[in-house]
Each structure stands twice: as C-alpha cells, then as structure tokens.
Amino acid sequence: MTNLRSVVAAALTGLALLNLVLGHPAQLLRQERGISDKPMIARRDQEALDKWINTCHDQGAAVDYSLSTPETTIFTSNATSALTPETIIGPYFVEGEFIRSDITEGQDGIPIHLDIQFIDVNTCEPVTDMLVDVWHANATGYYSGVESQAGLNTTFLRGVQVTDHDGVTQFDSIYPGHYVGRTLHIHVVTRRGGQILPNGTYTRGTVNHIGQLYFDQELNNAVEELFPYNTNQFPRTSNVGDFLTADEATADYDPFVDYIRLSDDANDGLLMWITIGINTTADYDSLAMAAAHYYKEGGKSNTPNFNFTGFPFPGGNLTGNFTFPGNFTGFNFSGLPPFPAGGGFPGFPSPTPTAAPSVQPWGPCLKKREA
Ligand SMILES: *[C@@H]1O[C@H](CO)[C@@H](O)[C@H](O)[C@H]1NC(C)=O
Ligand SMILES: *[C@@H]1O[C@H](CO)[C@@H](O)[C@H](O)[C@H]1NC(C)=O
Ligand SMILES: *[C@@H]1O[C@H](CO)[C@@H](O)[C@H](O)[C@H]1NC(C)=O
Ligand SMILES: *[C@@H]1O[C@H](CO)[C@@H](O)[C@H](O)[C@H]1NC(C)=O
Ligand SMILES: *[C@@H]1O[C@H](CO)[C@@H](O)[C@H](O)[C@H]1NC(C)=O
Ligand SMILES: *[C@@H]1O[C@H](CO)[C@@H](O)[C@H](O)[C@H]1NC(C)=O
Ligand SMILES: *[C@@H]1O[C@H](CO)[C@@H](O)[C@H](O)[C@H]1NC(C)=O
Ligand SMILES: *[C@@H]1O[C@H](CO)[C@@H](O)[C@H](O)[C@H]1NC(C)=O
Ligand SMILES: *[C@@H]1O[C@H](CO)[C@@H](O)[C@H](O)[C@H]1NC(C)=O
Ligand SMILES: *[C@@H]1O[C@H](CO)[C@@H](O)[C@H](O)[C@H]1NC(C)=O
C-alpha cells in the first residue's frame, strides 16, 4: 500500500502546479494517496477543554468512510463553525515551504490522511483559494527545517496546500510524535492573498489564523505504543498536562480532530478531519514569527522577535527573541518562576507525568461517547 501510494504520489508531483491552475482535484489527491497528569494552571478555558476531552472523536461506529469518501460527504454542505481561537505559533514555523499534499517524505509512522475545512465565521461560507501551512514533529519528536532540530535543509512533515471550492485542504502525513512539554499536535497557519511561485512555493500574504490541532488521548496512547513512537526518548505530556491545549478550546469550538481507523491494522492509518472557523480579514502577521525560511539555497535561520501579546503567559505581554537551541533573549522574565526543568516556558510548571503512560491497544475508542 505504501509503495503504491508513493509511486502514485511521485507521478502526481509533476501535476502539482497544474492542479493549482485548474483548481484543486481533491478526489484525485485522495486517491493517490495514559498519562494522567495534573491539569495545568492558567487555563484560558478549562471547562470548555474538559467537555471536548471527554468526547470520543472516533467516528468509526457512526460513519462508514474510506479514503474514497468524497470530502462533501465528510463536510456537509451547510457547514458552520465557531471561531477557532488563535494560539501561539511556537518556535518551529518555517516559511517558504513547498505546496504539496503529501508531506511524509519517507518519515516512519502511522499514516494519516487529514482533511481540514475552513469556514468564514462571518459568512458561514467555505474559505476558498487560501494558503494553508501545516507542520509537526516526527515520530520521535523532531521538527525539520530548524537549526537545533533536524537542520535547516530538511523539509519533512511540512507543506502548504490551497483550499478548494469547498474550503478543504487534504494532507497525507504521519501521526505526529511528542517532544518536551507538549502533547501531540499539528500546527496550522493560514494566509490570504499569498502568491504561488513557479517553483512550487509561495510568498507574501497576510496570516489570518494561527492554530494547533489535537487528538484524543486514547488514540495518542495507542500510537505511542507502536514503533517507532515507542522509541521516542522525550518525556510525555498528556492533553490535560499541556498548557496550550485549553488555549484552543471554547464552549463552541472543539480542537480535537474526528477520525476513523482505516482498518484493524495500524499501518493502514487513519482518516482524520476537522472544520476550522476563521475570520478571513484578521491580520496576525505580527504573531506569525518564523524560525527560518526555506530558500533555493537552503534554509536560513531568522532571529524571531516573538510577540506573545494576548496569550495566556503569566507575564501577559512578553516580547523578545528566541534563539536555538532553546534560549530566549530580550524577554523580561523578572518576577516569573524559572524555566521548568522538563522544558516548556517560564511561568508554567514542568510537564512531568504523575503516572506511567497507559498501555492502550490499537482499537475503537472505549471512552463513553458524549458528543
Ligand atoms: C442546506 O442548505 C441548502 C441551501 O441553503 C438548503 O436547501 C438545505 O435544506 C440545507 N440542508 C440542511 C441539511 O440543512
Ligand atoms: C526524526 O528526526 C530526527 C532528526 O532528523 C531523526 O534523527 C530521527 O531518526 C527521526 N525519527 C524517525 C522515527 O525517523
Ligand atoms: C475580523 O478581523 C477584523 C480585522 O482585524 C476585525 O475588524 C473584525 O472585528 C474581526 N471579526 C471577528 C468576527 O472577529
Ligand atoms: C522559490 O522562488 C523564490 C523566488 O524566486 C526564491 O526566493 C526561493 O528561494 C525559491 N525556493 C525554492 C525552494 O526553490
Ligand atoms: C543547505 O544546503 C545548501 C545548498 O546545498 C548549502 O549551501 C548549505 O550549506 C546547507 N546548509 C546547511 C545548514 O547544511
Ligand atoms: C504584538 O501583537 C499585538 C497583537 O497582535 C499587536 O497589537 C502589537 O502591535 C504587537 N507588538 C509588536 C511590538 O509587534
Ligand atoms: C503590552 O505591550 C504593548 C506594547 O508594548 C503595550 O502597549 C501594552 O500596554 C502591554 N499590555 C500589557 C497588559 O502589559
Ligand atoms: C541563554 O544563553 C545565555 C548565554 O549563553 C545564558 O547565560 C543563559 O543562561 C541562557 N538562558 C537560558 C534560559 O537558557
Ligand atoms: C530581536 O532580534 C532583532 C533582530 O536581530 C533585533 O532587532 C531586536 O532588537 C531583538 N529584540 C530583542 C528584544 O532582543
Ligand atoms: C521587567 O519586569 C519587571 C516586573 O514586571 C519590572 O519591574 C521591570 O521594570 C521590567 N524590566 C524591564 C527592563 O522592562
């Protein structure tokens, strides 16, 4: 299956630019292709998070989707979505990445086919022709493209798509791994007015959403049991132990992706989907700091001047530079607790698990369905 997929994917790479011109043949692309720690303090909306955390997002019992299910079936035509909260871009955003649907680049892990639909909360219409940038860590917790991680010249598990007439983008990747201080997540940044370049990258535009996607803890636990996730050396952080998860939840917006397991064999992977409500005219450029930019000549590090205004840092309004590896300069941390020993940000406790990770077999979600 993997071989066939990669052969077809390679054949389709040449079509990428044509796809952009002709619109976005989403169906074609689709065919190619227990820990329990203490909740973190300073939640923006702990109550909202609890509601979604206690909901089972495994839709295997409810729907009979496969990789050839049309996106219009997955996303019903009368979509609505609550405004998705903005969150921090984090220190691993890289600009200038390739426009491509399959971002796997041979990274080992459980395949995921992620469909994201974007809805304009002002009109309830799909957001079309918008650049959507995603990136995430590999199974053992490393990002590409960044100096202190896999290196400036690597691009795995990063890529950009353009929303189609249903406001949908489709990505093929692997389930992300974890790293210090964070639960498993995928970063998403969208921009309006960007320009697609002849070399398959993009330039400019205005960032109108900065978000992160999360997964059911049960599913995370099951994946972490499997190779190569089970060779990840970093301490684990659960959804409730991650200080940013609640930042992304509201009473009306559920930050966890829906999914089905494509078979009882984990190697067949998952089909996942989520609807994101955005304010298309918003401007978050000042919060979209990139750690590096990928050029023809290779990746180039930036010295991002991070602006955390509006985010729930204990200091409220931190501005400064983040350099690699893991050093902050120019921030005023005076009066805040020191950096946590387990990683993360000053002012937030160490994300040390208080219980051993639960052993979760690959299977249907056992948690009571509450949605
Ligand atoms: C969806 O919207 C269309 C057009 O506005 C309407 O005719 C249809 O009844 C709606 N369907 C549902 C399920 O609400
Ligand atoms: C993840 O990336 C790191 C850095 O490139 C690499 O050493 C590691 O082998 C990768 N993990 C897997 C499972 O391939
Ligand atoms: C959308 O963004 C614009 C520009 O920043 C702002 O004026 C407007 O109030 C925002 N709308 C919503 C619903 O947040
Ligand atoms: C793509 O083209 C732009 C504009 O010429 C250039 O700056 C950039 O380095 C190119 N990127 C790649 C990966 O070739
Ligand atoms: C990235 O690749 C370019 C072009 O091959 C090379 O000049 C540059 O030194 C490389 N950078 C790193 C950090 O390896
Ligand atoms: C920081 O971000 C806030 C919110 O977007 C913005 O109002 C402010 O101007 C930014 N500050 C700097 C120094 O860029
Ligand atoms: C945040 O920083 C901005 C720009 O320096 C300043 O105008 C604002 O008053 C600060 N807000 C808080 C809560 O400190
Ligand atoms: C950052 O680097 C400076 C100089 O190397 C060092 O003095 C400082 O302790 C480092 N800060 C952190 C938070 O690691
Ligand atoms: C952050 O780095 C930029 C570029 O090097 C520099 O201009 C700016 O003064 C730095 N800001 C702080 C707070 O250190
Ligand atoms: C740093 O923050 C502390 C406490 O908020 C404040 O008293 C101090 O003046 C700040 N220092 C600078 C250089 O802004």
> What pLDDT is recorded for position 88?
86
Residues 370, 51: Cα–Cα separation, whole Å:
9
* Beta carbons within 10 angstroms of residue 195's beta carbon: 10
Over residues 169-178, the pLDDT tens digits come to: 999 999 999 9
Over residues 216-268, the pLDDT tens digits come to: 999 999 999 999 999 998 878 888 878 788 778 888 999 999 999 999 999 99
Over residues 50-106, the pLDDT tens digits come to: 889 888 899 999 999 999 999 999 998 666 789 999 888 888 999 999 999 999 999
Q: Where are the beta strands (DSSP E) in 149-216?
A: 158-162, 168-174, 185-192, 195-196, 202-203, 206-214
From ligand 7's centre to the CA of 91, what distance in Å?
Answer: 22
Residues 261, 138: Cα–Cα separation, whole Å:
20
Which of 139-143, 149-153, 209-213, 328-332 is least confident? 328-332
- Band (359; pLDDT cuts 50, 70, 90): confident
Please report whether residue 90 resides in a domain.
Answer: yes
Of 8 and 324, the structure prediction assigns the larger pLDDT to 324
- Band (45; pLDDT cuts 50, 70, 90): low
Please report whether residue 23 resides in a domain.
Answer: no
For the residues 180-204, what does the mean pLDDT come to? Answer: 94
For ligand 5, mutation pick of 144, 152, 153 (most atoms within 8 Å of CB): 153
Residues of the domain holding 147: 34-329
Please report whether residue 46 resides in a domain.
Answer: yes
Residue nearest to atom 11 of ligand 8 (CA): 327
Please report whether residue 370 resides in a domain.
Answer: no
User: pLDDT averaged over the chain?
Assistant: 81
For ligand 7, mutation pick of 287, 305, 309, 311 (most atoms within 8 Å of CB): 309
Residues whose CB is less than 8 angstroms from the CB of residue 34 and which lie 6 or more positions away in sequence, other chains included? 217, 221, 238, 355, 356, 357, 358, 359, 360
Cis preceding linkage at 325, omega within 30: yes
> What pLDDT is recorded for position 16?
34
3-state percent breakdown (helix, strand, coil) of the chain, nearest 5: 15, 25, 60
Residue nearest to atom 14 of ligand 1 (CA): 78
From ligand 6's centre to the CA of 301, what distance in Å?
Answer: 22
Enclosing H/E stretch for 277 = strand 270-278
Which of 35-49, 83-97, 129-143, 271-285 is least confident? 35-49
Strand order in the sheet with 158-162: 158-162, 131-135, 185-192, 206-214
Is pLDDT of 299 > 60? yes
Ligand 7, atom nearest to 309 Cα: 1
The domain that contains 135 carries what CATH number?
A: 2.60.130.10
pTM score, two decimals? 0.83
pLDDT more than 90, % of the chain: 54
Contact of 150 with 177, CB cutoff 8 Å: no
- Angle among Cα 312, 176, 10 to the nearest 5 degrees reads 130
Q: Are strands 111-120 and 168-174 parallel, antiparallel or unpaired?
A: antiparallel
Is pLDDT of 152 > 90? yes
Is pLDDT of 112 > 70? yes
Please report whether residue 2 resides in a domain.
Answer: no
Ligand 4, atom nearest to 200 Cα: 1
Closest ligand by atom to 198 CA: 4
Is pLDDT of 295 > 90? yes
From ligand 5's centre to the CA of 338, what distance in Å?
Answer: 36
Please report whether residue 323 resides in a domain.
Answer: yes
Number of domains in the chain: 1
